[in-house]
Structure 1
C-alpha cells in the first residue's frame, strides 16, 4: 500500500515542506517581534545598539556615500560586514526609512532563514526515493529555531541571518561540485561550478570576514572529491573556489590601508587583544584561551541548559511521570544533548563526510571569533553561526540515527554506526559532562581520566550500536532538550523585548533630543542609535565610525588621551558640539571637556545598555591645542627643527616613534597651569615610560655638526633620571625632580653627534616613572 501512495506523497512533499518551513519561520519571528512591540508599546526598536550601526552605514549608502558611517566623515571600515548595509540600503530606498528600517531588517531575516531551511534540506535527502530523508527533514525547522539565544540573534537585526543564508548558498554551490565528482566526465561542468562556489565564498567573507576558513574548508573538500580526475584538476577546483574570496579580502585590506592607514578593519583594531600595545604575550594568550572556553561553555551550560535547581520539567511526558522531573533537575543533561546528537552524523558512513566538513567549519569559526573580546557580550551573537551549524547537525544526527535501513523504502542492511567512532565521540561526551559537573570555582578543564572516559564511550557506543536501543534514547534526548528550551526560549523572548525597550528608552530618546537641538556634530561612545535617530554628523571615540582618515580606532586602543590628541587635529568648527556619553566609561572626559550638563537619559530595568544613564553635555574644547607651543626657546637657538607630540598617533607615526612593549607606554594627560601664564590652564597628553623602559623617535632637519638642544616637556611626579642616547650613543642624562606643574627640560646635544637625521632614545633609569608629553629639537 505504501508503495502505491509513496509517489503521491513525494509529489506533495516539496509544497508541504515549504509551507512547514515558512510557518516555523513566521511563527518564530512573530513571537520575538511581537514581544518587542509589546514592550515598546508598538514602536519598532532593536535589542542591540550595534544594529543601528548597520543602519547608519545603510542610510549613508542609500544617500550615495557607501562605506561611510555618517555622511561627510569619509571612508570607514567600522562596519565589518560589507554586504549587509547594501541589503539594508535597498530597504531604505524602497521606503523603509527611520526606524521602519528595522521592519525591512526583519523581512530580510525571515527571507534568509526561510531560504536557509529550504537549502539545507538537501543534506537529509539522498535521492528521489529517500522517503525517510524527506520525513525526517521536517525536524530541521523546529530544531534550527529551537534554541532561544540562536533565534534571538537571527531576529536581532544584525547580519547573522544574512550570513547563514550566504552559507546556505555556498552549500548549494559546493553540493553541485560534489555531484560533478560522480560524473564520468567531471571536468565538463566542474570548472564553472567551482567558480560559482568561489563567488559564493566571496559573498560569504564580505558578509563576515571570519568565514575565510569556512570557504577554505568547502574548497578543500571539493578538491578532494575531484582527485580521481587528476591532481591538477583538483588543484584547479581549489584555486577557483578560493581566489574570489581571497581577492575580496585583499581588496578590503588595501582599501582600509589606503583610506585609514590600517590593514585591519576598525572593528578588528578595537576588539582584538592582539592589537593591545600594553598586554604581554602571555596576557593575550590567556585572554584568547578564556574566550574559546567561554564561547563553548556559555552555550553548553547556559544557552542549552537551565540554571541548576530552577527547572522542574515543563513538558512532562505522561508515560514517564515523576522520573522525568528527577532527571530534569540535572542541567548538564540538557547542556550535553545538542553536542552528543550533533556528533552522531560523524558515526554513520552516509553522513560522515558532510558532518566532518560542518564540524571543521564550526570549530574554525569558534577558534577565529575567540580572538574578539566582544565574543563575551551581546548575548554571544558572534558565536551563533556555529550554534546554527550545530543545530543542523543535531537534526541530521536524529535523522540518520533513526534510519532503520541503509536504503530507501526499508531495503538493504541495517544502518549501523561505526563502533570505534562512537567510542571516541562518547569519550569526548563523557569528558564534557565532567566539565559541566565540575565543582564550583574550579577551572573548565577535562578532569576525568581518559581511561574512564573511554570506558564511558564504549558504553555509549554499545547503547547506540543497535537501532532498537538507539531509537528510544535519541527520541527521549530530543524531548528532554525540548523540555529545557521551553523556559530558555521564554527567557530569550523576554530579553529580546526588554533589550529593545531599553534601546528605545535611552539611545533613541537621546537621538530624538539631539535631532531637536541640531548640533553641528555629536561625540558618542556608542556609534549606533543615537546618531541614526538624530541624523546628525558624529564622532565615535571608540573608533568604529572613523573620521577622515584619523586613526581613532587605534587611539581608542591606546586610551582616551590619544583620542583627545586626535580631536586637537579637527578644525574647531568641526569639533563635536555635544558629548552624548556614559560618564562612567570615560573617566575625566565629562569633567574636563563637558561644559554644561544638558539632560540625563536614564533607563529603567536595564539589561543591554552600557550604563544606567546616558548624559548629554555641551562640549568645551577650549583647552585643546594649548600645549602645542614650546614655551621657552633654549638660549642661542632660533628655530624649532623637529617636534613630536607624544600620544598623538599621527605625530608619532610621522616621527618614527616607538616605545618598549609590553607593560609600558601607557597614555596619560594633564591639565596644569601654563608655564608662560600661571593664570591659564594648559592641556597635553603623553606616555608613561616605566623604570627600565625606553622610547625613541627620529629627529630630522638639524644641521650636522652644529650645537642643538632637546627640549622635553614633562610633569614629574617624583624624582627620576632619564638617559639620552643618539643613534645608540650615550650622550648624557636629564635629572628630574618632583614639581607641581609643567617642566620643559633643556638638554644640550653634543655638536659632534648632531646629524640631519638621527634616532633619539630616552631611557628611564628611575626610580620614578617618566611621563613624556612633548619633545622639540631646536637649533
Structure 2
C-alpha cells in the first residue's frame, strides 16, 4: 500500500509532534515573525555563548592571539587566500591546481571573505566566528527537526545536548568547516521534512548540493538524500508528471559528479590528494586486501567504542549507540512518512563510518571527520530515550522517565565540557609552538625566493610567505604515492625536479605521517646540523597526548650535489635498459613488482649513501619481477644489480619469460652494497623484451631471500 502525506497518520504525532506548515504568511517580515520560535533562539544563544567561551580559552592560552588547534586549518586559509587573490586551488602562486582542500565550498567561502577584506589576523577570526555561528544555527535546526519528528520536548532536549557538546564546540571554534557542515546536514534534513507534505522538493536539492560540496562525508548523505526524494516522488506522485521533479532531485548527485570531474580535468585523477595520501587503499607500497580490512575494521571498532561511550565519555555517555539505534527503530516503526528519509540517514551514517574508517587518520584530530554528524546522532539518541519512556503506561511516569534519563545524559556532557575547552586551548598553544612558529621563522630568516619542503604544510605556507613543497602530498600533486612508498621514492621524485624547483630547505619532523626524514640527513641530502630547532613546550594532556606526533621541528638546508649519482652504471658495457628501484616512474615503465613472502610485509623504499653515490632501493623479503626493454634477441644478457644482502639466505632463482635459467648468488653477507652480476643465456632472449623474475630457491619456507635492491642495469 502506498504511503502518502494524507494516509497512515494515526499514531504519528504523539506527544506534541508538529506537522510542517503548508501555509506561508504573506510578506517577509510577517513570515519571519510567524515562524520565529523563542526556544530555538534561546538554544542557539546558549551555543553561541559557549562557543565564545571556547574562543576566549583559545585566546587565554595564546597571550591574546587567536591560534587554530590544527595545522589543517591553515591549509584551508592558504587555499582561501589564494582563491581570494585570484589563484584558485593553487597552493603556491603558479602551481598546478591541487586538491589538498577537502572542502570545495569552504574554500570558496574563505576566498570570498578574503576578497572583501578579511585578511591578516581577521582571516582566522572570520573562520572561527563563522564556525561558531553555524553551530548556533545548527542547534536551532536540531530543535526544529526534533519538534517535527517527535515532540517539542525531544527538540528542546536535543538542542540542549547539542549546545553543550564539547566536541561540537571544539569543532566550531577550530576554524575548520565543522560548523558549516553541521549546519548544512541539519538544514538538508529539515528542509526535506518541511517539503515532504507537499511532495515538491524545491529547496532540498539546493541545500543538499551545498552539503555535497562542503565535505566528502556530506556528499555521501546528499546522494542518499537523492534516493529518499526519488522514493517519495515515486510513492505519492505515481500518476503525475514526475520527470522534471525527479531530475531536479538529482542536483546533489550532479554536483558530486561535477566535483570529481573537476579533479580529473585539473589533476589527471579522480582521487583527491587527501585520499591518495591517507586511504588504506593507497598509503602503503603494496595493497593487501586482508590488511585493508583489518585496519578498516579496527577504525570502525574504535569509532563505535567512542560513540558508545566505551572509550572514555568525551563523546558519548555509556550505551549511547544502543539508545541511538532504538531511536532509529522507533521512528521507522511509528513515523511511516519519514521512512525514506530515515533509511537514507541510517545508510548515510553507516557509509560515513565505513568511508572515514578507510583513512589512516580516522581516529585522530579529535575524530573531527565525524563531528558534523553528531547533532543528528544526538537528536536520534534523544528519540531513543523517548522510545524507552514509552514503556511506562502512565503519562506522568513517561514524562518523568524521559527527563530523568536525559538529565543524566546532560550531566555527562557538562562534566566533559571544560575538558574540551582546555583541549582547544592546549592544542592551539601546541600549534603555536610548532607550525605557526615555524612559518614565522621561515618568513623572517629564509631568502624570499627560497623553496621549502615541509611535512605540515598549512602554517608554514600561510605565515612563511615562501613557496612550499608538501612532502606528504596534500598540497603538492604527485608526492602522496612517493611519500607512502618511503624515503627513497620521495627522494627520487624531488631529485627529478628541475634544479631551480628543488627545495632549498626542509622543515621536518621524524615520526609519521609521511616518509622518514632521517635517511635524508644520513645520505647527505640534508646538512648534518639543523639551522633551527623548534621544540614542543606546550604540555601534553593528562594521558600524555599532544595534537602533534613529534617533540621538535627542525629546519635543514638541502644539498643536491650528489643527486642522480645512483643512476650511473657501475660496470662497463652497452646498457640496453635500466631499472631504478625506488623510482616510481622507472618501476612503472618496467612493470616492476615486489613479491614478498608473507602477506603484510611491505617493500618500503629507502635511501642510502655509499662513498659519493646516493641511491634509492627497496627492502625485499622474497623476490622481484620486472620487464627489460630494448634487448637484442638471441644475444647474451648481463644483469648487473646494486644489492645489499644482509640476510641469511642470499640466493635467488632467475626465471626469464617463465623459464628458469639459473641461480643468482647476491653476494656475501655484509653491511654495504655491492654490484653483483648474472648472465642470461642467449637462447633465453627471444624478443626485444624479457620478463625477469627473481624467486626464492626454496619456495614457501623460511629463511627467505632478504636483500635491498637499488637498481638493475641490462647489458648486452
TM-score category, normalised to shorter length: 0.7 to 0.9
* Structure 2 residue aligned with 1:602: 535
Distance in 1 of aligned mates of 2:241 and 2:624: 54
* Structure 2 residue aligned with 1:501: 429
Residues 598 and 616 in structure 1, CA contact (< 8 A), matched pair in contact too: yes
Instruction: Give the drift of 1:746.
Output: 3.1
* Structure 2 residue aligned with 1:683: 614
* Structure 1 residue aligned with 2:279: 272
Distance in 2 of aligned mates of 1:349 and 1:663: 48
* Structure 2 residue aligned with 1:433: none
Pairing partner for 2:678 from 744, 747, 755: 747
Pairing partner for 1:510 from 414, 432, 438: 438
* Structure 2 residue aligned with 1:145: 163
* Structure 2 residue aligned with 1:311: none
Change (3 A) 1:771 1:700: same
Deviations 1:730-773 (A, max 9, x none): 33332222245333333333334242233332324375313221
Which stretch of the first structure deviates more once superposed, 503-512 or 96-105?
96-105
Aligned residues: 661
In the TM superposition, what are the counterparts of 1:626-637 in structure 2 within 5 Å?
Answer: 626-634=565-573, 637=574
Pairing partner for 1:470 from 385, 392, 398: 398
Instruction: Give the drift of 1:515.
Output: 0.3
Pairing partner for 1:214 from 215, 221, 239: 221
Which stretch of the first structure deviates more once superposed, 31-40 or 622-631?
622-631
In the TM superposition, what are the counterparts of 1:108-507 in structure 2 within 5 Å?
Answer: 108-126=130-148, 133=151, 137-175=155-193, 177-181=195-199, 193=202, 197-226=204-233, 227-230=235-238, 240-242=248-250, 244-257=251-264, 260=267, 262-275=269-282, 276-278=284-286, 280-301=288-309, 305=313, 332=318, 345-346=331-332, 348-349=334-335, 353=339, 354-395=341-382, 401=386, 463-464=391-392, 466-507=394-435
In the TM superposition, what are the counterparts of 1:699-710 in structure 2 within 5 Å?
Answer: 699-710=628-639
* Structure 1 residue aligned with 2:554: 615
Distance in 1 of aligned mates of 2:486 and 2:96: 23
Pairing partner for 1:522 from 432, 452, 455: 452
In the TM superposition, what are the counterparts of 1:561-600 in structure 2 within 5 Å?
Answer: 561-585=488-512, 586=516, 587-592=518-523, 593-595=525-527, 596-600=529-533
Distance in 2 of aligned mates of 1:770 and 1:223: 58
Distance in 1 of aligned mates of 2:321 and 2:418: 17
Distance in 2 of aligned mates of 1:472 and 1:212: 40
Instruction: Give the drift of 1:496.
Output: 0.6
Instruction: Give the drift of 1:339.
Output: 6.6
Distance in 1 of aligned mates of 2:48 and 2:254: 37
* Structure 1 residue aligned with 2:68: 46
Distance in 2 of aligned mates of 1:174 and 1:237: 14
Residues 337 and 477 in structure 1, CA contact (< 8 A), matched pair in contact too: no
Instruction: Give the drift of 1:133.
Output: 4.8
Deviations 1:81-110 (A, max 9, x none): 222111111122122223432111123213
- Tell me, yes or no, if structure 1 residue 103 matches structure 2 residue 125: yes
Residues 305 and 334 in structure 1, CA contact (< 8 A), matched pair in contact too: no
Residues 508 and 530 in structure 1, CA contact (< 8 A), matched pair in contact too: yes
Residues 309 and 319 in structure 2, CA contact (< 8 A), matched pair in contact too: no
* Structure 2 residue aligned with 1:646: 581
Instruction: Give the drift of 1:70.
Output: 2.6
Deviations 1:660-715 (A, max 9, x none): 36445512435343xxxxxx421111222223xx4223333233334443322212
Please give the secondary structure, in 2, of the residue aligned with 1:274.
coil
Residues 504 and 558 in structure 2, CA contact (< 8 A), matched pair in contact too: yes
* Structure 2 residue aligned with 1:412: none
* Structure 2 residue aligned with 1:729: 659
In the TM superposition, what are the counterparts of 1:27-42 in structure 2 within 5 Å?
Answer: 27-42=49-64
Which stretch of the first structure deviates more once superposed, 82-91 or 8-17?
8-17
Residues 224 and 234 in structure 1, CA contact (< 8 A), matched pair in contact too: no
Which stretch of the first structure deviates more once superposed, 484-493 or 260-269?
260-269
Deviations 1:586-613 (A, max 9, x none): 3433444331312221222143122221
Please give the secondary structure, in 1, of the residue aligned with 2:362.
helix
Distance in 2 of aligned mates of 1:469 and 1:620: 76
Structure with a larger share of its residues in helix: 1
Change (3 A) 1:221 1:258: closer
Pairing partner for 2:641 from 712, 719, 728: 712
Please give the secondary structure, in 2, of the residue aligned with 1:686.
strand
Distance in 1 of aligned mates of 2:82 and 2:687: 50
Residues 639 and 677 in structure 2, CA contact (< 8 A), matched pair in contact too: yes
Distance in 1 of aligned mates of 2:307 and 2:657: 55
State the TM-score, normalizing by the size of structure 2: 0.84
Instruction: Give the drift of 1:364.
Output: 2.6
Please give the secondary structure, in 2, of the residue aligned with 1:85.
helix
State the TM-score, normalizing by the size of structure 1: 0.77
Residue segments in structure 1 that go unaligned for 5+ positions in a row = 1-6, 182-188, 309-330, 402-421, 423-459, 674-679
Change (3 A) 1:120 1:477: closer
Change (3 A) 1:239 1:372: farther
Deviations 1:513-560 (A, max 9, x none): 11012341112111221221112111222221214xxx2111222222
Instruction: Give the drift of 1:250.
Output: 3.9
- Tell me, yes or no, if structure 1 residue 657 matches structure 2 residue 592: yes
Pairing partner for 2:103 from 81, 87, 91: 81
Change (3 A) 1:703 1:627: same
* Structure 2 residue aligned with 1:536: 466
Change (3 A) 1:657 1:180: farther
Instruction: Give the drift of 1:347.
Output: 5.6
Change (3 A) 1:484 1:522: same
Instruction: Give the drift of 1:651.
Output: 1.7
Instruction: Give the drift of 1:301.
Output: 2.0
Please give the secondary structure, in 2, of the residue aligned with 1:179.
coil
Instruction: Give the drift of 1:335.
Output: 8.1
- Tell me, yes or no, if structure 1 residue 67 matches structure 2 residue 99: no
Residues 149 and 303 in structure 1, CA contact (< 8 A), matched pair in contact too: no
Change (3 A) 1:91 1:574: same
Please give the secondary structure, in 2, of the residue aligned with 1:77.
coil
* Structure 1 residue aligned with 2:691: 759
Change (3 A) 1:489 1:762: same
Change (3 A) 1:396 1:9: farther
Distance in 2 of aligned mates of 1:641 and 1:466: 89
Change (3 A) 1:494 1:467: same
Which stretch of the first structure deviates more once superposed, 758-767 or 565-574?
758-767
Change (3 A) 1:686 1:9: closer
Instruction: Give the drift of 1:338.
Output: 6.4
Change (3 A) 1:250 1:264: same
Distance in 1 of aligned mates of 2:713 and 2:406: 71
Residues 222 and 237 in structure 1, CA contact (< 8 A), matched pair in contact too: no
Distance in 2 of aligned mates of 1:307 and 1:538: 36
Please give the secondary structure, in 2, of the residue aligned with 1:163.
helix
Residues 129 and 173 in structure 2, CA contact (< 8 A), matched pair in contact too: no
Residues 362 and 389 in structure 1, CA contact (< 8 A), matched pair in contact too: no
Please give the secondary structure, in 2, of the residue aligned with 1:264.
coil
Which stretch of the first structure deviates more once superposed, 356-365 or 376-385?
356-365
Distance in 2 of aligned mates of 1:261 and 1:770: 35
Change (3 A) 1:671 1:367: closer
